Amino acid sequence: MQSVRSKLAGIDETLSKWKEDKASGEVYHDLIKSELSRILNDEEFPDHLKQKLKELTWHINAMLGIEDDNGHGFEKHLVWAYGVLMATRM
């Protein structure tokens, strides 16, 4: 199995691009959702990390505006998304 870090590297890179190009949010959202789906369906990926990635799903949905953002904007959810990624790598 690929390492956890390498599987999450693509998501990290896509978040960075999204931060710089907010107008293309749907494209970046779809890329991240696709990668998350692949990881969440990987039976070898640790279950406790899958739980963290479900939290990441909420943040990226809130960033695009398709999920309740609890009164917080794009930038705040982006910071939290990075926090989830960092916690998942440890």
Q: DSSP for 18-54?
A: HHH-GGGHHHHHHHHHHHHHHHHT-TTS-HHHHHHHH
- Average pLDDT value for residue range 10-19: 94
- Average pLDDT value for residue range 6-12: 88
Torsion of the alpha carbons at 75, 76, 81 and 85, rounded to the nearest 10:
100
pLDDT exceeds 70 at position 2 = no
As a whole number of angstroms, the distance between CA 31 and CA 54 comes to 15
- Average pLDDT value for residue range 55-64: 94
Predicted TM-score (pTM) above 0.75: yes
Instruction: For the chain, give every domain's residue range.
Output: 4-89
- Which single residue is written with the structure tokens 């916690």? 87
pLDDT exceeds 60 at position 13 = yes
